[in-house]
Structure 1
Amino acid sequence: MSSASQNRPWDVHRLPSAEGRTFLVTGGNAGIGYFTAEQLATTGAVVVLGSRDTAKADAAMASIRLRVPGARVRHLRLDLADLSSLKTAVDGLDLGRLDAVVHNAGVALDDPPRRESADGHELMFGTNHLGHVALTRWLAPLLSAAPAGRVVTVGSFAARSERLDLEDLESTREYRPKRAYGRSKLAQMYFGFELDRRLRAFGSPVLSVVAHPGGALDALTPSRAPVHVTHPGERLRALPAGLLVQGKDAGAWPVVRAVLDPEVRGGELWGPRVFGLRGLPRREPVPAHMADLAVAARLWAASGELTGADPLLGFR
């Protein structure tokens, strides 16, 4: 990239070229993941949509191709709730290198009862956190083979008000869905920061960055039929909320910048500019509880035991 392009202010509507690069977006068929994939596709990169649902992935790819002429998108069948399937899924990428993975896919449950993944883990913690921990292990050689590989973990504003219970990471004693979701996203963010610390100590050139979309509402999100349809009345009713929050298209901006911007550094947190809820992407201070090294180390050890995977294996 030329020095002129590096000095140009970041423009969410004029992204730098990423031709020749390949990005994997987990959960790329809907929500923040879809708009991350659509925006990355405008750079000329190959964008792989990781999704367990082939029909939804096909619909998302058709939508991207409609809006991005010449888009280079493909699907990888990926089920983060089934840890034993992830190595086979990664082998199916059939790539020599991967320039970035966006750890975005997630499950959000609103009501009891507590549900478990195929591996017997609480579904949100098992999918949102443990699935991405194990996926990182199998992607490590591909990320290491790239000139400047990146792991971008998509956190949540909801994680700011949560604290991990290290004695009950999977909510077996007391299950409250919204709290369990917030804690699963907090665990993801801890992992993203700790992964970067360990990669630096290991001497790896791969960076780990954390980003979050702020407040992103479906009602403020532009339609992408059949992936997502926003009706005019729904959007009109949501306009007052637009003073504080935004649509999922704008929610993807910090994630996309964390993938593409050469000025981004490992261990950073990126989110929306206005109160962390809406606006253009900017670097944010890491909240104090997310920088707790003792908690991060204990979560790292527990995650390794629960997944049977050391995420650092394969990095070089």
Structure 2
Amino acid sequence: MSSASPLQSGPWDVHRLPPAEGRTFLVTGGNAGIGYFVAEQLAATGAVVVLGSRDAAKADAAMTSIRSRVPGAQVRHLHLNLADLSSLKTAVDALDLDHLDAVVHNAGVALDDPPRRETEDGHELMFGTNHLGHFALTQWLAPLLSAAPAGRIVTVGSFAARSERVDLDDLQSSQNYRPKRTYGRSKLAQMCFGFELDRRLRAVGSTALSVVAHPGGALDSLTPSRVPIHVTTPGERLRALPVGLLVQGKDAGAWPVVRAVLDPEVRGGQLWGPRLFGMRGLPRREQVPSHMADPAVAAHLWTASAKLTGMDPHHNFS
């Protein structure tokens, strides 16, 4: 454990976040779900928060909601389509920044039913968007993150990844497609990437950190309303109260992610999640499961991801 940082006194308080004026954060999928609440909470620190989203109307609604709750919030929209790899460099150029303090890799697709679908690049939709899109985006963002005093890449994983294993022979689920399993594996791929990225950052002496966080069990029915983005009726909330002992709303699900972005005590290669059984509660550091930290699997996944995205597998992040 590191020594106490002079920038933080007392225990971490999810309701009293440290100020972050002058810093800029990009949240992919910041217009809805966990990403929205990450953006809302980060905006309250005084930072500039960029919402990466394919849908301008949804992003506008999210920014209006954030501004209504955070007086003086500095939020902007970046058109970002992780399912279209050829568009990512243009998106990063459109940021028009000289540095980026953190990116939160949050956006994701979760399908419940067949048939198998593909991205514009011909990749399985969940693996292609959730993992490959963020993999490629990170390389385009690398110069901006390296230009920041202490850039952070925070990858949002999922509890669903704990029971899955990476199938290096069928990364795109072309041989055996089961939507829930494919989703879990796409999130596992993201988490393996986050840990491998930090190993590579450390190897070249980079000042940037790669951290992984997950929201635990986060349900819409336990999430406070943010009209028109999300509405929870009193009946839905009442029916969800029993499971509220085990899981939480998406506002609380954002807490580990926000801490991974802001807390000066956070170190690269760490995993952050909810305190109670990894499912609900205040954010804390967790032990990294061995199957997520396997460097051999991660190295194979990295090489395959670089080939699939056309990126440089030996990219230097320093």
TM-score by length of 1: 0.98
1:213 corresponds to: 215
How many Å separate the matches in 2 of 1:44 and 1:36?
13
Query: What does 1:100-249 correspond to in 2, within 5 Å?
Result: 100-249=102-251
Matching residue's letter, 1:123:
L
Structure 1: unaligned runs, 5 residues or longer: none
Matching residue's letter, 2:79:
R
How many Å separate the matches in 1 of 2:172 and 2:7?
46
Query: What does 1:1-316 correspond to in 2, within 5 Å?
Result: 5-310=7-312, 313=315, 315-316=317-318
SS at match of 1:208: strand
Shift in alpha-carbon separation, 1:311–1:73, aligned structure 2, 3 A: farther
Task: Verify the 8 A CA contact 1:140 1:311 in the aligned structure 2.
Answer: no
SS at match of 2:312: coil
Task: Verify the 8 A CA contact 1:213 1:252 in the aligned structure 2.
Answer: yes
How many Å separate the matches in 1 of 2:93 and 2:130?
21
How many Å separate the matches in 1 of 2:167 and 2:47?
40
Per-residue deviation, 1:3 = 5.7
Matching residue's letter, 1:289:
H
Matching residue's letter, 1:150:
R
SS at match of 1:305: helix
Task: Verify the 8 A CA contact 1:137 1:311 in the aligned structure 2.
Answer: no
How many Å separate the matches in 1 of 2:315 and 2:168?
24
How many Å separate the matches in 2 of 1:49 and 1:314?
27
SS at match of 2:8: helix
Per-residue deviation, 1:313 = 3.2
SS at match of 2:49: strand
SS at match of 2:71: coil
Per-residue deviation, 1:5 = 4.7
How many Å separate the matches in 2 of 1:61 and 1:310?
35
Matching residue's letter, 2:52:
G
Shift in alpha-carbon separation, 1:146–1:231, aligned structure 2, 3 A: same
How many Å separate the matches in 2 of 1:118 and 1:213?
29
Percent identical residues: 83
Task: Verify the 8 A CA contact 1:99 1:143 in the aligned structure 2.
Answer: yes
How many Å separate the matches in 2 of 1:148 and 1:199?
12
Task: Verify the 8 A CA contact 1:137 1:312 in the aligned structure 2.
Answer: no
Matching residue's letter, 2:185:
R
Matching residue's letter, 1:13:
H
How many Å separate the matches in 2 of 1:5 and 1:105?
30
TM-score by length of 2: 0.98
How many Å separate the matches in 2 of 1:72 and 1:137?
26
How many Å separate the matches in 2 of 1:71 and 1:297?
40
Instruction: Tell me the C-alpha RMSD between the 2 structures.
Output: 1.1
Matching residue's letter, 2:244:
G
Task: Verify the 8 A CA contact 2:22 2:47 in the aligned structure 1.
Answer: yes
Shift in alpha-carbon separation, 1:74–1:100, aligned structure 2, 3 A: same
SS at match of 1:92: helix
How many Å separate the matches in 1 of 2:191 and 2:312?
17
